[in-house]
Amino acid sequence: MRSGTLLITLMLGAACATTTPLRDTRFEPIRQKLQQTVAKDELNSISVAVAIDGRIVWEEAFGYADREKKILATPQTQYAAASITKPITATAIMKLVDEGKLELSQPVVGILGPISIRGGADDASRMTVRSILHHRAGLAEQNRYYFPGEVRPPLEEILRRYAIVAHPIEEKYRYSNIGYAVLEAVIERLSGQPYATFLRESIFTPLGMKRTSVGPATGAATLYDPDRKPIPPYDFAARGAGWVFSTAPDLVRFGLMHLGQPLADQKPVLRESTRAQMLEDRTSTGSATGRYGLDWYCGLGICGRDETEYGYAWYGHDGGMPGGASRMKIVPSRGMVVVALSNGRQQLTYDIVDEILDVALPEYREKRRNDPSLRPGGPSPASTLREKISGHWRGEIVTVSSATPLTLSIDASAARMKVGDQPECVLEELRFGESTFEGGCRAALPLDDLPNEPYEVWLEVDLRDGALGGTLSAYTPPPLYHFLLPAYVRLQRD
């Protein structure tokens, strides 16, 4: 009995040393489910990888990396990691901290110069590297994908146009892609290298992430829209937020480093104290009444949740972009890293990670069944904001190159907005929070990236000191996600 146990231990040790994956039979129901989903043509392809107790125990891919050419996906197929790029960018930032080139409390304007970030709701010089990592820098949300025929401007120009302090810094958690474009610029300025080069030399190579790159490499999975039509190759404005392409096993390697259980062939990237700081230096992402409770947090680029009656403590990141979905979850108490990647933006990519955890941790299944965060859309807290902001407001839309008049009127039955000399539009999907008002209609915005024609626009303003301030953004609705481009707005009672 003991000799058999010793043999198994030696075999597992060899698997760890050579990183040869095992097919853990516990996950056979998951395998069958994914095989059946592909057979029903409900999925383009998906790649999964799992590590338990610091050992990769399963890695497998299902479906077609390229449907037209009938190229099957393999564990070495590269997919869009999407926002899993953010913890990678954050790790690069912490590498600069380890090298003594950066402090988290440094103002970003002092690193990049005053033209990099525009103030609005707050003084841009108050924004630090730490506040961006925590998603508390007050930056307006921004997305922009550049398809064939469109040219991505230089990063400095993207920041000049859209790095806007639209909300008070450190006020609350506001997820921001443009913040990680700012960090991308910080990495390039302080390292003296292009962002892609620094990541390759400082993170991907020492961690043995051989099929990971900034931007897709040859043979990457084709991205597909919801109708299964190939999406042409495109570029992304905030590469530091979502432009890493990788494989599921490579991202498990990245996760094992952050778990503190690297494989034998991996070289150190961060000091142990720095790795721990990325989790310990954190703030809450929610509130007692929000979808994410106070137990949800965001550290220095890595977000997660404390242990509750609904499940284990975990950390990691999700991602989604046109034609791609990704999820990485790390459960430190069980030494687990689970990654799923796909070349279609479907919910299964996210759900399958939790189903894998259910199999490995049976008690987790029962706990998370009652998790309120998995049941969004419940009743909102009562708000008196509508009464407070009823009336007429006058102000302007401020871009890097212009200021356009804006009026807003709100009463008990409707909210109306007028942009410049355009016809007044009625705002729909109105949302009144504790201090935030939102609504959308169609209008043309004076943005350098767009032709002067109507688009879907979304107004999000906060009541503060008797004034309204925030953003008016032009966007393409799902499933396109082509762009979300903000302008800063400020309004006073008329």
Q: In degrees, to the nearest 5, what angle opens at C-alpha 180 toward C-alphas 177 and 183?
A: 160
> Cβ distance 35 to 348 under 8 Å?
no
Burial letters 347-366, b for 16+ CB under 10 A, else e: ebbbebbbbbbbbbbeebee
pLDDT at residue 290 in the model: 54
DSSP summary character for residue 375: S
**Residue-level pLDDT at 288:** 56
b/e per residue 196-232 (b: at least 16 CB within 10 A): bebbbebbbeebbbebbbbebeeebbbbbeeeeeebe
CA atoms of 494 and 391, how far apart (whole Å) = 8
d(CA 35, CA 45): 10
Question: Whole-angstrom Cα distance, residue 242 to residue 94?
Answer: 18
Give the Cα separation of 162 and 481 in Å (integer): 17
Residue 379 DSSP symbol: P
Decide: helix, strand or coil at residue 191: helix
Interval 67-105: pLDDT, tens: 999 999 999 999 999 999 999 999 999 999 999 999 999
The string of pLDDT tens digits covering residues 152-166 is: 999 999 999 999 999
Structure confidence at residue 375 (pLDDT): 64
CATH 3.40.710.10 fits 82-374, yes or no: yes
- The string over 150-165, giving b where at least 16 C-beta atoms fall within 10 Å of a residue's C-beta and e elsewhere, is eeeeebeebbbbbbbb
The rounded distance, in Å, linking the Cα atoms of 231 and 225 is 6
Domain boundaries, the chain: 82-374, 385-493
Which pLDDT value is given to residue 48? 97
What pLDDT score does 448 carry? 85
Is the CATH code 3.30.300 the one for domain 385-493? no
CB neighbour burial string for 433-463, b if at least 16 within 10 angstroms, e if fewer: beebbbbbbebbbbbebeeeeebebbbbbbb
pLDDT tens, residue by residue, 7-52? 333 333 333 323 344 578 899 999 999 999 999 999 999 999 999 9
Mean pLDDT of the chain: 91
